[in-house]
Amino acid sequence: MEYRPLGKTGMQVSALSFGASSLGGVFHDVDEQTGIRAVRTALDLGINFIDVSPFYGLTKAETVLGRALAGVPRERYFLATKCGRYGAQPEDFDFSAERILKSVDESLSRLSVDYLDIIQVHDMEFGDIRQVVAETIPALLKVKERGKARFIGITGLPLVMFVRVAEQIVAGTIDTILSYCHYELNDTSLLAILPAMEQRGIGVINASPLGMGLLSVRGTPKWHPAPDEVKERCRRAAGLCQTRGSNIIKLAVQYSLGEPRIATTLVGTASPENIASNVAWAAEPIDQQLLNEVLEILKPVHNVTWQQGRPENN
């Protein structure tokens, strides 16, 4: 397993990391014991960074993860969770200082740990940017001062939000960003903000290298917000990989690990077998010819995305 520095945190994180949303049954029902074995398998194979949120499975993911980590020496892993988002409806977002402080304590209890390595604002584009800057982040600084978290991060879909927040706060306040669906086979727009993050010493975490199911043989779930043309092109790319005796998931995972400025890429699976496959793929060279053919299919929809959250935050 390759390890990379996460900004200026001093943490050396595995290039491939564990996205624990899967433990909450976000994509399909998950057997708890199987999920626990997936976490243990990831740790045994060298993955040392785990990301979760109270939103995933409406606290189920944190609860199952806490059970999976029971008895595991704390120095074996880096742990990140989130706050601010607790459901899918507008009323389920709360970026107030009071709720943030309470949320962190709740997460620590569910995870059965004394501290978090990173506490992150979850999907900040659904909030008022002024509140995030003036209230949410100062509340997280209190969390940090009290020893309940070592570092502070922000997450979301619109890339412009990362730059806007970074420009409005004191340098060094934000330690990490978590971006998703913006560094994968069909979308590499995350590259545009890497220099700005690097200049500020902010570590970059990449998530959803499969585009929340875009890059899969099964195709996208009905709720997926991508435009139809993007879905169709991704289906064609997945079909091409099949005809070549390969798997677009393998290609997508390998591709996502190819940018060294991105510290780590989260993969979400509650299957021990899938975790083992991902780790094995990470160590193999990418099929350059197949990659070129897939990128050619996806070229007409390259960097085509969708809006999320408040209009003014996109």
Spell out the long-range contacts of 10-14 with Cβ–Cβ below 8 A and sequence spacing 24 or more.
Answer: 11/49, 11/78, 11/117, 11/203, 13/48, 13/49, 13/78, 13/263, 13/264, 14/46, 14/47, 14/48, 14/49, 14/264
Selecting among 3, 56, 77, 115, the annotated active-site residue is: 56
Residue with tokens 């979308």: 187
Please give the structure tokens belonging to residue 304: 């085509």
Please give the structure tokens belonging to residue 232: 């169709």
| Nearest-angstrom CA–CA distance, 117 and 124 | 20
| Helix or strand (DSSP H, E) at 119 | strand 116-121
Closest CA to 148 of 121, 99, 109, 176: 109
115 belongs to the catalytic site: no
| Nearest-angstrom CA–CA distance, 289 and 77 | 36
Q: Are strands 149-156 and 176-180 parallel, antiparallel or unpaired?
A: parallel
Catalytic sites, residue numbers:
56
